[in-house]
Amino acid sequence: MPALTLDTPHAAPEVMISAQQIHKSFGATNVLRGISLQLQRGEVVAIIGPSGSGKSTFLRCLNHLETIDSGTITVEGDVLVQNDANGRAAYASDSQIRSIGRKMGMVFQSFNLFPHLTVLENIIEAPMLVKKMARAAIVPQAEQLLQKVGLLDKRDAYPNRLSGGQKQRVAIARALAMGPDILLFDEPTSALDPELTGEVLRTMRELAQEHMTMLVVTHEMGFARDVANRVIFMDKGEIVEEAPAKEFFSAPKQERTKAFLCNTL
């Protein structure tokens, strides 16, 4: 009688970010109305939607650049914020917030490079100050990252000598220098001329191919369709629709989604 073989169960996907019922208001304006999202390890999720829909605010809430009114955010199982007995957001301690924050890198639409520092110095600044790394240890890593984004020849240049696309690629290298498990992108190409957008998207595509976990707020529909595993459409502070990328673009279900895509594709 042949030996009985058992199928080895697939490991459950590792949840990198879990955000549940996130509410956020600025004064009387409700910007986020119960947003819930899970991001798995190695997944690329694109968040799209009209301006003012709460996309960037949601991203900033995930890494504590904004505080939420209520809801729960965990990063790799560590609780950043959860509701107290009164249903209001209660944050972890400052040291825990800093520890959780180091798991995530953020790339902004406006680059945020230090103008008085060279490209290399921009990249090594945070690892030296925050992680207390020795300059001799971080410089070779920084040079490898500059090679990765195609800018090693600009290591000693100042930001004002770079194009917008080059600045954004330096910003990506700077975020990677901290060794994050997750990268958050807040409309990384919206400040760029169309001809410079491609070089930044190419770098992001390469990161996706390396299975970097990425949450990307973007207006680039081609990137969302071709690179993202999942697409989320937000409008008026709510998630209207989410689906695997191919399904999202080929067969959107909600009329609001269809109208948005009709105007952007």
H or E stretch at 54: none
pLDDT tens digits in sequence order for the chain, 265 residues long: 444 444 445 556 799 999 999 999 999 999 999 999 999 999 999 999 999 999 999 999 999 999 999 999 999 999 999 999 999 999 999 999 999 999 999 999 888 999 999 999 999 999 999 999 999 999 999 999 999 999 999 999 999 999 999 999 999 999 999 999 999 999 999 888 888 899 999 999 999 999 999 999 999 999 999 999 999 999 999 999 999 999 999 999 999 999 999 988 7
* CA nearest to 265, candidates 197, 213, 219, 202: 219
pLDDT in the model for residue 263: 84
Give the type of residue at 169.
R
Contacts with 258 (C-beta within 8 Å, 6 or more apart), sequence order: 252
pLDDT in the model for residue 265: 73
Greatest Cα-to-Cα distance within the chain, rounded to the nearest angstrom: 76
Helix (DSSP H) and strand (DSSP E) numbers for the chain = 9, 11
Tokens at 94, concatenated: 């400052």
Contacts with 77 (C-beta within 8 Å, 6 or more apart), sequence order: 15
Q: How many alpha carbons fall within 13 Å on the CB side of residue 213?
A: 19
Backbone angles phi, psi at 92, to 5 degrees: -65, 175
* CA nearest to 71, candidates 16, 32, 31: 32
pLDDT in the model for residue 135: 95
Contacts with 247 (C-beta within 8 Å, 6 or more apart), sequence order: none
H or E stretch at 184: strand 182-186
d(CA 53, CA 178): 30
